[in-house]
Amino acid sequence: MRLFRAIPLKTFDHLTVIGLREWIALPELGVAGLRAKIDTGASTSSLHATEIEPFERDGQRWVRFNAHLGSVVQLRHRRCEAPLVAIKTIKSSNGVAQTRYVIRTLLALGDHVWPVEFTLACRKAMRYRLLLGSKALVAGQLVVNPGAAYVQDKPVSPASLSTASGAQ
């Protein structure tokens, strides 16, 4: 006796599959070879940053910071500047609210390049220096295979990505 009728699973050809961890680049910041943790439970994306200093340039609000790119074992960082998009209060996974600066910059994952908003936060205690949240996944038309990691190829150098995407 058959209790249910098998209905084919839906597939979406326009979505790109990624794993729980992926290599990314931030071409406008000159950053390549950064490991990202994909977190579908986080709305916003976050970049490990220290020495964050807001400033003005041509009447616009900007922020200057050290982006930490290496692992706990191999430390490296890059001094970056980006236009300030907003200042938000974010509730972290442990329930503590923090005020964070928000920037928008191009993100490259595989052969996709699109603008993503990042909060700047100290992620020193975290294994991954960059967290990619659900808003970035939706904007990039990505779906996550939780059983996979590093599905996409490493993005090419930041300079060629920035030029190819039309960024200045």
Total tally of structural domains belonging to the chain: 1
Query: What does DSSP say about strands 45-57 and 112-121: parallel, antiparallel, or unpaired?
Result: parallel
Instruction: Say if residues 155 and 32 touch (Cβ distance below 8 Å).
Output: yes
Q: Residue 135 sits in which domain range?
A: 16-164
3 part of a folded domain: no
The pLDDT score that the predictor gives to residue 158 is: 52
130 part of a folded domain: yes
6 part of a folded domain: no
Q: What string of pLDDT tens digits covers the 168 residues of the chain?
A: 566 677 776 677 778 999 999 999 999 998 888 899 999 998 999 998 999 999 999 999 999 999 877 554 445 678 999 999 999 988 776 788 888 999 999 999 999 999 999 999 876 667 778 999 999 999 999 999 999 999 999 987 555 544 444 433
Q: What is the CATH number of the domain that holds 72?
A: 2.40.70.10
Quote the pTM value.
Answer: 0.82
CA distances from 24 to 32, 37, 39, 106 (A): 7, 10, 14, 10
109 part of a folded domain: yes
